């Protein structure tokens, strides 16, 4: 195929673009950097130091990016560095991304997810290049009523726990910046809301696949606190493709456009935690299965949360590619390769190439 049909239909859009990724040492950020390098971008990153076994560290992401270690809570340093980089596009992923730690450090979570987001937007606003800014929040930004219908982009923001509230607050702030600054100054901004993302190289505490894989690596039974919590599950490459499709779409609109999209899976990828854990154990192949331990005494987490992705499907040149089984197969394959001592930079590239081949079929 000619350049994988111009790299998945992006038609060279990202080639030679200066793209700044905040949170590039994190799970999604690292995968995004690999995809942007695959698409020919000049990639810059600002984030905290990476964990030694993170996807960023083991897959060689640092060699693909202009790597800057910085805390986005430091307004002066963040704004000055963004102004100096002066990118064409900013994708803001840096965050405290977990519900349970937000109970332990609510002020840190709110600081990073709200004030840190404001610092990034202000840095982008002060760039002479007026970059398009894609702000990544979460499906947990919505006021969750535990309903079976998926939330649409018009539903109200909310949040029971500090993490969810910080993401709802960030969404309000993004829209306020859009109305107050970006639209009048003819600069475009996106808010993108994703579901539960799975894929190789995520070692964050209290993530179901991470917990399952770490237990299986130690020949232990994975323990499930919320076995019947229902979530939309999606492979990281489907999510990254959605983010980049939304960026390309907004770039084709008049300058000074604000928009928001749910970037989630199709309905058939919605499943409860015990189903995901059981399938992951089966794919690992050790004969060990999950153990239900209950959640007595644990902080509140939503039981039911789904996204309506109709708007993204109708307006973006994007659709989820991987079904739930394939998403799990690709995820467990990455961790198995890691445990076997494979070169994970090459393995990551092979998974990206496989995804793009399927994308253009």
Q: Is the distance from CB of 121 to CB of 132 less than 8 angstroms?
A: no
The pTM score is: 0.94
DSSP string computed for 285-351: TSS---EE---TTPPP--SB--B--HHHHHHSS------HHHHHHHHHHHHHHHHTT--HHHHHHHH
Instruction: Name the CATH architecture for the domain at 15-355.
Output: 3-Layer(aba) Sandwich (3.40)
- The backbone region for 272, taken as left when phi is positive above 0, alpha when psi lies in -120 to 50, beta otherwise, is beta
Q: Domain map of the chain by residue range?
A: 15-355
Tell me the pLDDT of the chain (361 aa) as tens digits. Answer: 446 555 667 889 999 999 999 999 999 999 999 999 999 999 999 999 999 999 999 999 999 999 999 999 999 999 999 999 999 999 999 998 888 888 989 999 999 999 999 999 999 999 999 999 999 999 989 988 878 788 999 999 988 889 999 999 999 999 999 999 999 999 999 999 987 899 999 998 778 899 999 999 999 999 888 888 888 899 999 999 999 999 999 999 999 999 999 999 988 888 889 999 999 999 999 889 888 876 655 565 555 778 899 999 999 989 999 999 999 999 999 999 999 999 999 999 999 999 999 988 7
């Amino acid at each position: 195929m000619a350049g994988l049909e111009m790299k998945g239909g992006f038609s060279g859009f990202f080639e030679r673009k200066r793209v700044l990724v905040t949170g590039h040492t994190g799970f999604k950020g690292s995968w995004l950097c690999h995809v942007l390098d695959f698409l020919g971008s000049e990639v810059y990153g600002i984030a905290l130091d990476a964990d030694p076994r993170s996807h960023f560290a083991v897959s060689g992401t640092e060699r693909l990016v202009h790597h800057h270690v910085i805390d986005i809570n430091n307004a002066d340093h963040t704004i000055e560095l963004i102004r100096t980089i002066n990118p064409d596009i900013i994708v803001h992923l840096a965050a405290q991304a977990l519900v349970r730690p937000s109970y332990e450090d609510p002020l840190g979570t709110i600081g990073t997810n709200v004030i840190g987001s404001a610092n990034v937007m202000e840095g982008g606003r002060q760039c002479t290049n007026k970059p398009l800014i894609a702000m990544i929040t979460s499906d947990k930004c919505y006021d969750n009523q535990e309903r079976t219908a998926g939330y649409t982009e018009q539903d109200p923001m909310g949040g029971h726990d500090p993490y969810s509230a910080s993401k709802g607050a960030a969404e309000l702030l993004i829209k306020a910046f859009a109305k107050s600054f970006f639209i009048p100054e003819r600069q475009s901004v996106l808010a993108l809301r994703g579901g539960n993302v799975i894929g190789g190289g995520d070692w964050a505490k209290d993530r179901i696949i991470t917990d399952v894989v770490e237990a299986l690596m130690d020949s232990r039974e994975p323990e499930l606190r919320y076995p019947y919590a229902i979530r939309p599950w999606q492979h990281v490459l489907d999510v990254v493709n959605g983010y980049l499709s939304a960026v390309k779409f907004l770039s084709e609109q008049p300058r000074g456009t604000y928009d928001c999209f749910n970037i989630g899976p199709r309905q058939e990828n919605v499943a409860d935690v015990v189903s995901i854990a059981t399938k992951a154990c089966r794919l690992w192949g050790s004969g060990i299965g999950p153990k239900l331990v209950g959640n007595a005494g644990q902080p509140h987490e939503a039981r039911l949360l789904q996204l309506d992705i109709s708007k993204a499907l109708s307006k973006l040149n994007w659709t989820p590619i991987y079904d739930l089984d394939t998403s799990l197969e690709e995820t467990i394959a990455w961790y198995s390769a890691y445990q076997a001592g494979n070169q994970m930079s090459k393995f990551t590239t092979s998974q990206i190439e496989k995804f793009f081949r399927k994308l253009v079929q």
